Structure 1
Amino acid sequence: MSTNHNGKKNVDIDALLDDLTLDEQVALMAGADFWTTVPVERLGIPAVKVSDGPNGARGAGGLTNGTPASAFPCAIALGASWNPDAAYEMGTALAAEARSKGARVLLAPTVNIHRSGLNGRNFECYSEDPTLTAMLAVAYIKGLQDHGVGATIKHFVANDSEIERQTISSDVDERTLREIYLPPFEAAVKKAGVWAVMTGYNRLNGTHMDAHKWAMTDVMRGQFGYDGIFMSDWFGTNSTAASVNAGHDLEMPGPTRFRGAQLLAAVEAGEVEPETIRASVRRLLVLFERVGAFDSDGPESETTRDEPETRALIRRLGADGAVLLKNEDHFLPLSKDVSVAALGPNAAISRLMGGGSAQINAPYRVTPVEGLKAAFGDNRVSQEKGCSNNRLMQVWQGDIELSFFHGRKLEGKAIHTQKETELNCFWFDLPVPGFNQNDFSVRAEGTFTPRESGTYCAGMTNAGLARAYLDGELLIDGETDWEKGMNFFGLANDERRADVQLEAGRTYNIVLEYASPGDADDGITVRALRFGIEKTLGEQEIDAAVRLAAEQDVAILYVGRQEEWDSEGHDLPHMTLPGSQNELIEKVATANPNTVVVLQTGGPVEMPWLDKVKAVLQFWYPGQEVGYAIADVLTGEAYPGGRLPQTFPVSMKDNSAWTADALSYPGKDGHVRYDEGVFVGYRHHDSNNVPVLFPFGFGLGYTTFAWETATLSSDVMGESDLKVTVPISNTGAREGAEVVQLYVRPDLMDDDVAVARPEKELRAFARLALKPGETQIAEMNIAPRDLAYFDVERQRWLAPAGRYEIVLAVSATDIRERVSVTLKSEWSEPA
């Protein structure tokens, strides 16, 4: 290899392919370990490291105890910003974060669609709408790849639930795929040139995604022109010849289960052609070249990149995605001379992210109470918890020593010891080289000193077998009759609990004994142990919160869910706030009419108390600056810039995925059938006149806006784009952001319509940040395809001749103007 004028190595990929043996080519098609690819040192092909996203770059450590990494807002918060420029900024910052972890490929963004509202990964996805999702994903990808880090758009495709996620078949008709679920991937290819795609765990219409030739080769490569790699989700490869022949390039993680010797045998047997292997390896080498891997010797050491500009960006993005749902009598923003009761289970804890593989070890966490005290002063802020909302017991924290043993019986001398500050262990990689994932054991030892006397509840969940002891007595048996439950990606048991009476100030010894399972479970190697303990809360805690609320000028309730609810591995059981939070809100609102609710959830919730509170602010999971970002919006230091990227239904039964047949959701007999077709989210509510709690695109602000009349570049749609402009003025006294949403509505006679079409569909939007008195022009383009539906029989996008309405709105139910355009003759375009 030589170097070019930029100092980068010139890579002759054809020569490399010629020099690689078949064994080496096959080795490149699977990971070396959990995070890196296989190097070929003799030819200068380094190992390439990947890292989990999408709201940070975690590196190679555990979910929450690896090298500290900046925690950005989750995807639904970015979706709520309706701000592609912010998505680009976040991608740019994450490129630097990834490189600080020695990674050249980030496993993000997630672009699955908000179908049910109950998906455990709802928070990881942008929106229920493919246009909003696609525009944000394109910007995010460009931010990463413009700065040399490969994006991995995921999870391809129709991976919209966590129920039976390794095996479930998403049964989706082709029109629905083309119009709802594929557009974000299509845009990522055509508009952003994405370098990697991760296939989902699910099957699509009966076929595992890693072996779905139609989706990967025919559609993505053939029709969309994709030239990057397909990699599996972790342990998401399900076959050898079928997967490789379908165009799937990289099995992750390593060591391989389906490639290696099995793939060599498949080539020998004539089941896979050597040219198919060569084509996959070519794509891998092109990726390595794109991310600059040939200019290094492999992954660098991990460092923490905690920069002031990153902190400021995260804080600003948090406000950008905050959605003001109610603000009676313009109660917000708050004056800084009021006294505040900070109440609820999220007040003194930083709920900065969702659970599962999106978790990272943030360098610091700002709680809402800390944010309030920084804004109002210590003497104006008081706090009570009131109730809990955690799904698992509060994790045990302290000086905890872990001792690792060969074998599953804690025998002999410990091979390795290490300290932990909390007992929440997820062993991606064991800390001892050469340890067998299926044949090791761990003893965890530490103490717990309660601050108050009373009844405490201890809880333990384990992927593997475990027992917990308190002062030498068996407290929890996590071994007898063990079976899989909702924890650790659905591969640990449901939390087993025990109540115990403890005395304040007394120190108790806690010992946990863990043994790995004997064999890999469902092909996924998950070894984990979590132990929690907390004082049982009751009516007296709610009463204390109510008393405090009555004593202060303003009561702010920090409620919602947290990472154990909004998490990969399981779907939510309902849209109700967990625990006693609804009761707490009702009682506090009765005691203090100046009650503000700050919601932190990864999706919609039912709000039976909505008419009893003064204001409601939806804040999602906004990253490590959560406390400051919330305080900024409450006090007006920043304005709430968000609009809902997902419809909030009145109740769960109003969601588009819910029908009388369980096959539609949550699924049955290994299948989930997308019966609603293209009528997802607001399309369902619009077209079926189903009332909403808050519509798609909704969000209030602290100022007012005036819209002038829209102008179209033409009232006839031709072959080229049509430009729509709308002047918008800020007529209030504060800064704010307006989002102009452009929907298209076919205004055709029923006799002319071959298929059922939604009442209207989002096709473009423009976000304008305006100072008081300022006017800007929202500019949006629409193309002929924006008028079209997908004709499955003809395999073409088709827009019938006739009249269409351009609907300009501030939400799906708040329409400001309708303008007609005419398509004089039928337009069509091949898939």
Structure 2
Amino acid sequence: MTSPHPVATGHEALIGSLDLPAKVALLTGASMFTLRPEPSIGLGEMRMSDGPTGVRGLTFTGGRTVALFPNATLLAAAWNPASAYEVGRMLAEEAVAQGIHVVLGPTINLHRSPLGGRLFEAYSEDPLLSGVLAAAYVRGLQDHGVGACLKHLVANESETARHTVDSVVDEATLRELYLLPFEIAVADADAWSIMAAYNKVNGTPATEQHHVINEIVKGEWGYRGLIVSDWWATTSAAPAANGGLDLVMPGPGGPWGRHLVDAVTAGDVDKAVIDDHVRRLLLLAERAGVLGEPRERQAPVPAPDSPMRREQLTRLAAEGMTVLKNERATLPLARGATVALIGRHALETIDMGGGSAQVNPPYQVSVAEGLTALLGDAVAVTDGVEARHRPVPAAAGFAVHPVTGEPGVQVSVHAEDGSVIDERHAASGVAMIGIDDDLPEPPHAVRLRARLPQGGKLQVGGIGAGAWEVRVGQLVERFELTLDSGDVGEAVLRPPGGTTLADAEPGDLLETEVTLAETAGRGRRGLYGLVARPAPENVDAVVARAVSAAQDADVAVVVVGLTEEQETESVDKTTLRLPGAQDALVAAVAAAARRTVVVVNAATPILMPWLDQVDAVLWAGLPGQEGGHAVAATLLGDIEPAGRLVTTFPAADEAGPAWSVTPVEGRLEYTEGAFVGYRGHDRGPAPAFWFGHGLGYSTWEYSDAAILDGQGHRLAVTVTNTGGRTSREVVQVYFRPTDDRRPVRLVGWQAATVEPGESARVEVATDPRLWRYWDETRAAWTPLPSQGRIIFARGLGDVRATLELSGR
């Protein structure tokens, strides 16, 4: 089978100098994150790194210290392409400093169901917003010499059974929604690479998608870049190569190599297909500066803890934070007021999601640290209820290396005969075994040892699949931890944990040993850690202490949220309810406090049964390493939280147009079609908060809405800041067709910053890609009939002006 749309690069002589095995060898990675060099044609090693919230580098865990950025939904909530470009530029700087050529991001799958575990990595539920922000991010990276990788192509909106699920999507929905962000980022930014997903699409693996990859992306869009597999996603040779996949990751093994050479020799894959894959690889290498004369890429890069990075990361996090409710002008907080800051998330603020988005930051600022830095003794901090179900690694101050005394854990890896094959210090309390390391023998057991500086009643144990023995003082506890699925990601991203309670004396030695379990047919590998932390307290006692603190203050600020248990790769949520007794904590504090502010430390929707009881709600996302400083700055009004929601918040579980993320007999059917998120809620039921909702710290009037071109492609409205402070307004324009078979859709937006009492005339140019639909009968794009209503709104729950569009 010949590729129908070969790319032209001018590298024919280089390709012609390689024999078939040499060409095929280039099409599988050399390691976890590197590609093979080929000195004979001047091709150097190309390096990739995960990168949605920071450039981690060539290892999956640990690695060098790098800046931790706010998560994608928080960045997107600013509705600001300039900020997305700035993030891309900053990530390019971080990549160049590490010799990274391609950053694996942005993630531009849509928020189909709010249960999706990986939504925190993806921008929004809307294809236009996602696509425009992705294009700006890509330009920020690539304008500075680092390639972007759009992911995950396509219909990869949930994590349950992610390696086997078949996403069943009709052609119109696929093109109008799920492919549109990719189309925008390709057309407007020429992204250098795209990642093919784990799942199937309409029965065919995403890595073998001739229709999507060859016919649409490389064909209709004229895409010149490289299609790379998600890690371990490729399971075939000829079908994937013919389906348009250019590169298999990771390496050095995989399903291609000799099998692909044999497929070409047998005539199952045309040599021209291989040449096109190599051509695209060489184009990426040329763009990244590793083909021919090496490009000088070194430049001064701000340290991740430098004043410049602190300012940038604080500002970027704060500008996406969103005021969901603000009664009695409770926010911003008045300086001079006493504050009871309550909640586990106030002390242990969650700054990043789980999985491949995690990095090793220089520090993470908690809300308690940030607010205390600004208000000092006016803040009284009180811990809250437990928010996790699974054990977490040794808490800071509860485990030190038994020999050196450094914070962390001593780790030794043993072969089957008991010999030590690796030793390391794990400052985080966890170690990745068999992923990033090159061990001389297969690992059989891992021992983790730590000294306990503090005594008392402790929770101790281990994390990771296998047979465990835990010893501290007189206690010896044995248990076995097993994996729930065959997904290798479970052993790495959500390993099981087991704990017990122990009475420890200060200085006691905690020793654990685990005999490793096989992991999804990939040998003994995974994440292993030691648990050491204070024993959990009684919930009633915790809540009573919080109520007492709230009664003694002018205002109570309760910080609640999710953790990496819910917002992570490889697992979806089962409910939007806050974990643990957090809802009961908020309700009790609200009943006792003079005023109550709730800060939601989560990237995705939650339910708020206490909403009518509190005065204000601030959605803070996963705010990155400067999270506590950003939350404090917004609470006090030093930076306006002018964000707008990027996901509709349902009013109850199952009260959304698309809900289930669980395949039925292997199939996940997108039966809602194009009616996702706000598009579906427009037909009911009404949500708790609409996509696009956000109050900021001012009030606004809209007037003189107008259609400037007669077709709805150019619009204008005057906005007047009727509040008492300078504020940023995001004018959102939607089109609701008369034909109710087609959903309402965002067609454009424009922001304006206006002084108090002043007005601004805001013009909005709508995107022509939203004024078409896919006609399945004709198998072609067709102009959308322009009969309908133009809506100027602050989310569809706050419509400010409407204009009738009567058609051409």
Interval containing the TM-score (normalised by the shorter chain): over 0.9
Deviation at 1:415, TM superposition (A): 3.6
| Residue 343 (structure 1) aligned with residue 342 (structure 2) | yes
Residue by residue over 1:67-94, the C-alpha shift from the partner in whole angstroms, topping out at 9 and shown as x without a partner, is: 1110111011112111111111111111
| Gap regions ≥5 residues in structure 2 | 1-8, 402-408
> Residue 435 of structure 1 aligns with which residue?
440
> Residue 762 of structure 1 aligns with which residue?
746
Q: Secondary structure of 1:443's match?
A: strand
| Residue 420 (structure 1) aligned with residue 426 (structure 2) | yes
Q: Secondary structure of 2:280's match?
A: helix
| Residue 677 (structure 1) aligned with residue 673 (structure 2) | yes
> Residue 390 of structure 1 aligns with which residue?
388
Residues 624-635 of structure 1 aligned to structure 2 (within 5 Å): 624-635=625-636
Amino acid in structure 1 at the alignment position of 2:426: E
| Residue 815 (structure 1) aligned with residue 799 (structure 2) | yes
> Residue 4 of structure 2 aligns with which residue?
none
Q: Secondary structure of 2:676's match?
A: coil
CA contact (8 A) 1:51 1:106 kept: yes
Deviation at 1:278, TM superposition (A): 0.9
Deviation at 1:492, TM superposition (A): 7.4
CA contact (8 A) 1:457 1:533 kept: yes
**Structure-2 separation of matches of 1:802 and 1:563:** 44
Q: Cα gap change, 1:641/1:522 in structure 2, threshold over 3 Å: closer, same or farther?
A: farther
Deviation at 1:594, TM superposition (A): 1.1
**Structure-1 separation of matches of 2:175 and 2:524:** 35
CA RMSD of aligned residues (A): 2.4
Residues 517-666 of structure 1 aligned to structure 2 (within 5 Å): 517=517, 521=520, 526-534=525-533, 535-538=535-538, 539-658=540-659, 665-666=661-662
Deviation at 1:589, TM superposition (A): 1.0
CA contact (8 A) 2:464 2:497 kept: no
CA contact (8 A) 2:77 2:646 kept: yes
CA contact (8 A) 1:743 1:764 kept: yes
CA contact (8 A) 1:39 1:47 kept: yes
CA contact (8 A) 1:408 1:441 kept: yes
CA contact (8 A) 1:464 1:527 kept: no
Deviation at 1:403, TM superposition (A): 4.6
> Residue 265 of structure 2 aligns with which residue?
268
**Structure-1 separation of matches of 2:24 and 2:562:** 45
**Structure-1 separation of matches of 2:593 and 2:563:** 26
CA contact (8 A) 2:606 2:649 kept: yes
| Residue 804 (structure 1) aligned with residue 788 (structure 2) | yes
Residue by residue over 1:505-534, the C-alpha shift from the partner in whole angstroms, topping out at 9 and shown as x without a partner, is: 53332222244445x625698422133233
> Residue 7 of structure 1 aligns with which residue?
none
The structure 2 residue matched to 1:224, chosen from 221, 244, 262, is: 221
| Residue 332 (structure 1) aligned with residue 331 (structure 2) | yes
Q: Cα gap change, 1:767/1:299 in structure 2, threshold over 3 Å: closer, same or farther?
A: closer
Q: Secondary structure of 1:422's match?
A: coil
Q: Cα gap change, 1:580/1:588 in structure 2, threshold over 3 Å: closer, same or farther?
A: same
Residues 203-218 of structure 1 aligned to structure 2 (within 5 Å): 203-218=200-215
> Residue 187 of structure 1 aligns with which residue?
184
> Residue 254 of structure 1 aligns with which residue?
251
**Structure-2 separation of matches of 1:203 and 1:123:** 22
Residue by residue over 1:539-565, the C-alpha shift from the partner in whole angstroms, topping out at 9 and shown as x without a partner, is: 212211211111122211111012232
Q: What TM-score results when the alignment is normalised by the length of structure 1?
A: 0.90
**Structure-1 separation of matches of 2:278 and 2:645:** 42
Q: Secondary structure of 1:346's match?
A: helix
Deviation at 1:783, TM superposition (A): 5.5
CA contact (8 A) 1:665 1:673 kept: no
The structure 1 residue matched to 2:42, chosen from 27, 41, 44, is: 44
**Structure-2 separation of matches of 1:623 and 1:230:** 30
Q: Secondary structure of 1:167's match?
A: coil
CA contact (8 A) 1:393 1:533 kept: no
Residue by residue over 1:264-289, the C-alpha shift from the partner in whole angstroms, topping out at 9 and shown as x without a partner, is: 12222222222111110000000011
Q: Cα gap change, 1:726/1:233 in structure 2, threshold over 3 Å: closer, same or farther?
A: same
**Structure-2 separation of matches of 1:643 and 1:100:** 33
Amino acid in structure 1 at the alignment position of 2:118: R
**Structure-1 separation of matches of 2:571 and 2:38:** 39
**Structure-2 separation of matches of 1:296 and 1:434:** 32
Deviation at 1:225, TM superposition (A): 1.4
Residues 86-485 of structure 1 aligned to structure 2 (within 5 Å): 86-294=83-291, 295-296=293-294, 305-377=304-376, 379-397=377-395, 398-400=399-401, 401-405=409-413, 407-409=415-417, 411-412=418-419, 414-427=420-433, 429-431=435-437, 433-436=438-441, 438-450=442-454, 453-454=456-457, 456-463=458-465, 466-471=468-473, 473-478=475-480, 483-484=484-485
**Structure-2 separation of matches of 1:525 and 1:357:** 20
**Structure-1 separation of matches of 2:177 and 2:495:** 35
Amino acid in structure 2 at the alignment position of 1:399: V
Deviation at 1:404, TM superposition (A): 4.0
> Residue 715 of structure 2 aligns with which residue?
724
Deviation at 1:159, TM superposition (A): 0.5
CA contact (8 A) 1:402 1:442 kept: no
Amino acid in structure 1 at the alignment position of 2:382: E
Q: Cα gap change, 1:486/1:383 in structure 2, threshold over 3 Å: closer, same or farther?
A: farther
Residue by residue over 1:762-820, the C-alpha shift from the partner in whole angstroms, topping out at 9 and shown as x without a partner, is: 11111222333443332222355533321111112223656232211111121111223
CA contact (8 A) 1:326 1:616 kept: yes
Deviation at 1:694, TM superposition (A): 0.8
Q: Cα gap change, 1:303/1:276 in structure 2, threshold over 3 Å: closer, same or farther?
A: farther
Q: Cα gap change, 1:150/1:482 in structure 2, threshold over 3 Å: closer, same or farther?
A: closer
**Structure-1 separation of matches of 2:716 and 2:699:** 19
Residues 733-744 of structure 1 aligned to structure 2 (within 5 Å): 733-744=724-735
**Structure-2 separation of matches of 1:493 and 1:474:** 25
Q: Secondary structure of 2:372's match?
A: helix
Q: Cα gap change, 1:697/1:109 in structure 2, threshold over 3 Å: closer, same or farther?
A: same
Aligned residues: 786
**Structure-1 separation of matches of 2:767 and 2:729:** 23
Amino acid in structure 2 at the alignment position of 1:313: Q
Residues 46-65 of structure 1 aligned to structure 2 (within 5 Å): 46-63=44-61, 65=62
Residues 768-807 of structure 1 aligned to structure 2 (within 5 Å): 768-782=752-766, 785-799=769-783, 801=785, 803-807=787-791
**Structure-2 separation of matches of 1:296 and 1:474:** 58
Amino acid in structure 2 at the alignment position of 1:795: A
**Structure-2 separation of matches of 1:634 and 1:208:** 47
| Gap regions ≥5 residues in structure 1 | 1-10, 659-663, 751-755, 825-831
| Residue 706 (structure 1) aligned with residue 711 (structure 2) | no
CA contact (8 A) 1:489 1:569 kept: yes
Q: Secondary structure of 1:360's match?
A: coil
**Structure-2 separation of matches of 1:671 and 1:86:** 38
**Structure-2 separation of matches of 1:805 and 1:405:** 66
Deviation at 1:13, TM superposition (A): 1.9
Q: Secondary structure of 2:681's match?
A: helix
Q: Secondary structure of 2:400's match?
A: strand
Deviation at 1:103, TM superposition (A): 0.4
**Structure-2 separation of matches of 1:297 and 1:465:** 50
Amino acid in structure 2 at the alignment position of 1:48: M
Q: Cα gap change, 1:590/1:783 in structure 2, threshold over 3 Å: closer, same or farther?
A: closer
Deviation at 1:300, TM superposition (A): 9.2
